[in-house]
Chains A and B, each alone.
Chain A
């Protein structure tokens, strides 16, 4: 038996596998495929205060070992989520994390204020890093000050723990991580997608309606791993690793580097059983290696001799 429980300090998880926002719908979409309660935690698709249109299609383009998306955070808004989704989702008894979005800084506060009183939400993840919201691909997570301000504002607006999700589209990820920590974030998750584009040479049009999109999938894992390693060595708050996790070995790499948990994202779109398959592969590895407690593997990277 392997003890798979993870203590993030502000929340205890039965295992380190979390589903990443935007890749797992509002959770219920996956209930025909797997027992949701076996997942460490579910992060639901990013929510703005109101319903949101999203970007014009095409919204998806496949690239070698990856995909670009420019969904643009189309979504149902907090009221509909609280009324129609949350009561059903809480029945599963799986920790629910809401990914929070905002058009303006103050919308983040309004979203968490509204949802903090609702039963069944464990914590929030601040989506300050979606590249698909503004035409120029900019987001708060590209600036230390902007990051600081939003995290601070949200922390003042809720008593629930807050995870801040960072963008890889920066020159120095550690600067942003420090800002988030100084503003009081309880945890950090990274990376969001990498800003990219693709062109159809026949029509000479961009492959995405929004021109730019976010690259995800196995192609981005080395970048994600490097950034997680940098952040883990910079901040004290727990770090959650995201980026191209498709197999148990991928998740284990992030844990060894020092992530306390991981998020499975794009893999969900291809294999709806991915979260539990990956979990089983981690379990098998631990059993084979005689590791009795998954936490013993975290941050065990050996650099140098």
Chain B
């Protein structure tokens, strides 16, 4: 974990979607897929709290974050210019588990909307280790799928879905997932990130098909470092209990999540 004043070295905007590249050697060196950073978007007391962002991509000495402009924090962040500094803490939390032998194994990576953010880094790592990541990338409409080209450039198989049918599968990503399960029956594990209701539906399908699954859960984070106990989610462990999403997650096994 490091506190760093990271220089913004790249920025791309597609309507309300933003991709920022940050120079941050130590964080880039230690980051694992599924981990996140906490960013202070300005030096003011408003907004007061840091904002969490999944680590979207890592290359030598750099990380990327990908987000949608949804509120005051992300609006301010979207107005930052290349060359400006951003105060960040990271890498934080526990990421996805891809420690077992990945070689030739098949994985579905399911990202709804901004939930796609951590899955790019994960797909690259799985591919690098010799595994086969298949990405399902869903949103309301075509313009909300700005990262498709990025997956293609990495030669990662990606299946888009849109609720209005403007691109790819016409319908919900959960329906696409059910459909895709018929194509491949030797899925090693699925990794999921997206809106709560979407993940809940995916979890039902995964359970029915006896699939091993990990989910990156969303919660309101206070500190991101396990100090305030604000971000708890309900898990089934030795008993049902509230567990800190930031330091014990945000990625949890489907077996322990209580939806």
A-B contact count (CB 8 A): 92
> Quick check: A71 and B228 within 8 Å, CB to CB?
yes
Closest to B44 in A: A65
Closest to B226 in A: A29
Cβ–Cβ < 8 Å partners of B40 in chain A: 270-271
Chain A binder among B46-54, B108-116, B139-147 = B46-54
Shortest beta-carbon distance from B42 to chain A in Å = 12
CA A269 – CA B1 in complex, angstroms? 14
* SS class, residues of chain A in contact with chain B: loop
Known contacts: A69-B228, A69-B230, A269-B222. The answer to whether A62 contacts B242 by CB under 8 A is no
Cβ–Cβ < 8 Å partners of A219 in chain B: 45
Known contacts: A25-B226, A58-B220. The answer to whether A270 contacts B48 by CB under 8 A is yes
Shortest beta-carbon distance from B75 to chain A in Å = 14
Closest to A27 in B: B227
Closest to A34 in B: B3
CA A270 – CA B46 in complex, angstroms? 12
Q: Does A54 interact with chain B (Cβ within 8 Å)?
A: yes
Shortest beta-carbon distance from A245 to chain B in Å = 12
Q: Which of B46, B47, B50, B227 has the most CB of A within 10 A?
A: B227
CA A80 – CA B3 in complex, angstroms? 30
Name B residues whose Cβ lies closer than 8 Å to a Cβ of A. Answer: 1, 3, 40, 45-50, 89, 219-223, 225-233, 241-242, 247
Known contacts: A60-B222, A61-B220, A67-B222. The answer to whether A270 contacts B228 by CB under 8 A is no
Shortest beta-carbon distance from B158 to chain A in Å = 33
> Quick check: A60 and B231 within 8 Å, CB to CB?
yes
Closest 9 CB pairs of A and B: A60-B230, A269-B223, A25-B227, A65-B45, A32-B1, A218-B45, A59-B230, A60-B222, A29-B227
> Quick check: B222 and A268 within 8 Å, CB to CB?
no
Closest to A74 in B: B229
Q: Does A168 interact with chain B (Cβ within 8 Å)?
A: no
Closest to B73 in A: A62
Cβ–Cβ < 8 Å partners of A74 in chain B: 229, 232, 242
Q: Does A64 interact with chain B (Cβ within 8 Å)?
A: yes
Shortest beta-carbon distance from A35 to chain B in Å = 14
23 contacts between A and B (CB under 8 A): A25-B227, A30-B225, A33-B225, A57-B219, A59-B222, A59-B229, A59-B232, A60-B220, A60-B221, A64-B46, A66-B48, A67-B222, A69-B228, A71-B228, A217-B45, A246-B45, A266-B48, A268-B223, A268-B227, A269-B49, A270-B40, A272-B89, A272-B227
Shortest beta-carbon distance from B116 to chain A in Å = 24
CA A287 – CA B210 in complex, angstroms? 67
Cβ–Cβ < 8 Å partners of A54 in chain B: 229, 232, 242
CA A80 – CA B230 in complex, angstroms? 21
* SS class, residues of chain B in contact with chain A: loop
Cβ–Cβ < 8 Å partners of A65 in chain B: 45-46, 48
Closest to A56 in B: B242
Cβ–Cβ < 8 Å partners of A269 in chain B: 49, 222-223, 227-228
Cβ–Cβ < 8 Å partners of B226 in chain A: 25, 29
CA A221 – CA B50 in complex, angstroms? 20
Cβ–Cβ < 8 Å partners of B228 in chain A: 22-23, 25, 60, 69, 71, 269
Q: Does A254 interact with chain B (Cβ within 8 Å)?
A: no
> Quick check: A71 and B229 within 8 Å, CB to CB?
yes
- Of B89, B220, B225, B227, which one neighbours A57 at CB under 8 angstroms? B220
Shortest beta-carbon distance from A155 to chain B in Å = 29
> Quick check: A270 and B223 within 8 Å, CB to CB?
yes
CA A270 – CA B52 in complex, angstroms? 12
Q: Which of B50, B222, B233 has the most CB of A within 10 A?
A: B222
Cβ–Cβ < 8 Å partners of B45 in chain A: 65, 217-219, 246
* 8 A Cβ contacts from A269-302 to B: 269-273
Cβ–Cβ < 8 Å partners of B223 in chain A: 268-270, 272
Residue-by-residue, is A245-272 near B (CB-CB < 8 Å gives 1, otherwise 0)? 0100000000000000000001011111
CA A185 – CA B253 in complex, angstroms? 48
> Quick check: A62 and B241 within 8 Å, CB to CB?
no
> Quick check: A62 and B48 within 8 Å, CB to CB?
yes
Cβ–Cβ < 8 Å partners of B233 in chain A: 57
* 8 A Cβ contacts from A149-200 to B: none
Known contacts: A25-B227, A53-B241. The answer to whether A33 contacts B232 by CB under 8 A is no
CA A65 – CA B219 in complex, angstroms? 21
Known contacts: A61-B220, A71-B228. The answer to whether A273 contacts B47 by CB under 8 A is no
CA A218 – CA B46 in complex, angstroms? 10
Cβ–Cβ < 8 Å partners of A268 in chain B: 223, 227
> Quick check: B3 and A273 within 8 Å, CB to CB?
yes
Residue-by-residue, is A3-35 near B (CB-CB < 8 Å gives 1, otherwise 0)? 000000000000000000011110001101100
Shortest beta-carbon distance from A22 to chain B in Å = 7
